[in-house]
Structure 1
Amino acid sequence: MTLAEAFRSVLAQGVHGLCFSPYLEGQAPGAQVSEAQIRQRLEVCRPHARWIRSFSCTDGHEQTPRIAHELGLKTLVGAWLGADAEINVREIDNVIALARAGCADLVAVGNEVLLRGDLTEDELIDCIARVKAALPGIPVGYVDAYFIFENYPRVTAACDVVMANCYPFWEGCPREQALPYMRQMLEKTRAVSAGKRVIISETGWPHQGSPFHGALPGPTAAVQYFVETAVWAEREGIEWFHFAAFDEAWKVGAEGDVGAFWGLWDKDAKLKYL
């Protein structure tokens, strides 16, 4: 089977989950997103994933979980936490309301907050505790780089489910060694999770941009990593979310030139690797 055939086979079968952002060209965090654009982009994803992970519950993103459920997708719903306390309150209020309305199968309170230094450990734990208290029966956790859960055991203990971002690329790992390296990241997270459910909340490989130490972007590398991860995860029963569904041009400012090129589909929702 050629790599292109393997890619088509994985897409036809569908992966566990996709990290989803509905931003169109010219949009970035802070822009208002519409129901129409969310629905249009989710329709693209629907045949190829069982779960959708959303990142925010404000600026229109709070519509994503409801629409995803309408389309038969399960939802990992994220409340985006940062340094702005007022926005954090709105995000938490909205994720609680969405989950109470039946739109969230899993809830993530924050994404890489500790990695960025936006909140203290105690502040983050307070946010997790508030959401957990409001949503009995719904699994609540936190998303961060895999090594954070070893470094912050109190945060790990506060989670019902541990959600680890695992990026061999960002640790300069050559593509040929990336899957074994990512598996090590998962095992390190499991080792400190006290038997809790562990999800790979993000992993992927960019198809374009500058190298990062020994990690080289490229279309072949991106497809190989996606296919190898999907086949391994399906065989081992691993819950994982590919980052990302779509390219996002705005991420160049935050992550350099590779930031815009992590999607399976490009910024115009055209599948890149067929």
Structure 2
Amino acid sequence: MRFSTALSLVTPALAATKGFNYGSTFSDGTIKHQSDFQGEFTSAQNLVGTSGFNSARLYTMIQGDTGGVIEAIPAAIATGTTLLLGLWASAGQADFNNEVAQLVAAANTYGSSLADLVVGISVGSEDIYRVTPLGVASNAGPGLDPEGLVNYINQVRGALAGTPLASAMVGHVDTYNTWINTTWTQPLIDSVDFLGVDAYPYYESTKANSIDNSMSTFWDDFNQVVAVAGSKGVWVTETGWPNQGPTSGQAVASIANAETYWQQTGCSLFAGNVMTWWFTLQDQQPVVPSSGVVFAVTGPGNPPPTTPLYDLSCSA
């Protein structure tokens, strides 16, 4: 099986983790509050046709309208939602200082109620990709090189010493092709506890990337990261297929193809107990990979509807 290599890197304590990515704002830029996050987390747990989506990946620790701890934290505690915490790392040291300050504040405020839910902490998201020639050509925005990320990771570990999150796993999220450029990324691989992988066959337009090839393309991407990760865990932090958007190479965005990708690639991840955060329950800026492309599993609404846009069941 294509994913057999990956399964050996999943630890029993983390094997059941699966969830979605959650931005800090709605698509119109409105800032989310605790009740909004709570509604989203509850809807994810009750999606028709599937179960076990009890985890949330965040991109920032900062609540946008106050500068304090993001209100997703108390929402997760209230709903028993596990967390892959995220710190935005491409806005400079001053902003990163606030990310770290809110992470420490959350640890000290919520103590074991939070620590028991945290499966990991990601320092940054696709920062290296954004400073590669491909990222620059795509106008992906400010990024950060591996050396800068190692520095930030060390800052996070130092700041968490003596807090309830002192033993939390600390890693980084980037694109699969960024990780495998080990002449650049090896110091970062050496410094992390896990490698978060974002992989979207839909966007890989230089390959034969039709929906028929999507599952094999994904696992080829994933296993290339496994090959460079050594003993480090490899987690799927973003993947999905859009239900609407432009054609990308041979990849067609449609509800039917989004369902196929879920039932093939998604279900193989879930069956293999690979740590997975799907993109996405509902689309929110600024985390949508490309403007005009809709990856949502469910339709609009606050809270999101629990009836999905397509069949989320997985055959035995």
Compared with structure 1, are the counterparts of its residues 231 and 150 closer, same or farther at alpha carbon in structure 2 (3 Å cutoff)? same
Compared with structure 1, are the counterparts of its residues 108 and 179 closer, same or farther at alpha carbon in structure 2 (3 Å cutoff)? same
CA deviation string 1:79-132 (max 9, x = no partner):
112133322211122223334534233100100111112223221110011112
Structure 2 counterpart of 1:35, one-letter code: Q
Note the C-alpha offset of 1:249.
6.1
Structure with the higher fraction of residues in helix conformation: 1
Confirm or deny: 8 A CA contact 2:41 2:54 kept in the other structure.
no
Matches within 5 A, 1:76-95: 76-95=84-103
Note the C-alpha offset of 1:32.
3.3
Confirm or deny: 8 A CA contact 2:55 2:82 kept in the other structure.
yes
Give the structure 2 partner of residue 143 of structure 1: 173
CA deviation string 1:212-263 (max 9, x = no partner):
11111000000110121232123222111110110236667x72321xx111
Give the structure 1 partner of residue 154 of structure 2: 129
**Alpha-carbon distance in structure 2 between the residues aligned to 1:22 and 1:267:** 16
**Alpha-carbon distance in structure 1 between the residues aligned to 2:93 and 2:44:** 33
**Alpha-carbon distance in structure 2 between the residues aligned to 1:249 and 1:114:** 20
Larger mean CA deviation between 119-128 and 158-167 belongs to: 119-128
Q: 1:59 aligns with which of 60, 63, 73?
A: 63
Larger mean CA deviation between 221-230 and 210-219 belongs to: 221-230
Larger mean CA deviation between 156-165 and 113-122 belongs to: 113-122
Give the alignment's TM-score, normalised by structure 2: 0.74
**SS at 1:189's partner residue?**
helix
Aligned pair count reads 255
**SS at 1:192's partner residue?**
helix
Gaps of 5+ in 2: 1-15, 132-142, 312-316
Give the structure 2 partner of residue 273 of structure 1: 310
Confirm or deny: 8 A CA contact 1:21 1:246 kept in the other structure.
no
Note the C-alpha offset of 1:69.
2.6
**Alpha-carbon distance in structure 2 between the residues aligned to 1:202 and 1:250:** 14
Give the structure 2 partner of residue 225 of structure 1: 261
**SS at 1:43's partner residue?**
helix
**Alpha-carbon distance in structure 2 between the residues aligned to 1:141 and 1:15:** 16
**SS at 1:257's partner residue?**
coil
**Alpha-carbon distance in structure 2 between the residues aligned to 1:56 and 1:22:** 7
**Alpha-carbon distance in structure 1 between the residues aligned to 2:24 and 2:62:** 13
Compared with structure 1, are the counterparts of its residues 93 and 116 closer, same or farther at alpha carbon in structure 2 (3 Å cutoff)? same
Confirm or deny: 8 A CA contact 1:25 1:267 kept in the other structure.
no
Note the C-alpha offset of 1:136.
3.2
Larger mean CA deviation between 162-171 and 261-270 belongs to: 261-270
Compared with structure 1, are the counterparts of its residues 250 and 155 closer, same or farther at alpha carbon in structure 2 (3 Å cutoff)? closer
Note the C-alpha offset of 1:25.
4.6
CA deviation string 1:24-51 (max 9, x = no partner):
3521xxx532222222222211234021
Compared with structure 1, are the counterparts of its residues 25 and 181 closer, same or farther at alpha carbon in structure 2 (3 Å cutoff)? closer
Gaps of 5+ in 1: 1-13
Note the C-alpha offset of 1:22.
5.4
Larger mean CA deviation between 221-230 and 98-107 belongs to: 98-107
Q: 2:196 aligns with which of 156, 163, 175?
A: 163
**Alpha-carbon distance in structure 2 between the residues aligned to 1:225 and 1:235:** 14
Matches within 5 A, 1:247-258: 247-248=283-284, 255-258=290-293
Confirm or deny: 8 A CA contact 2:171 2:193 kept in the other structure.
yes
**Alpha-carbon distance in structure 2 between the residues aligned to 1:33 and 1:136:** 28
Compared with structure 1, are the counterparts of its residues 96 and 178 closer, same or farther at alpha carbon in structure 2 (3 Å cutoff)? farther
Q: 2:228 aligns with which of 176, 180, 192?
A: 192
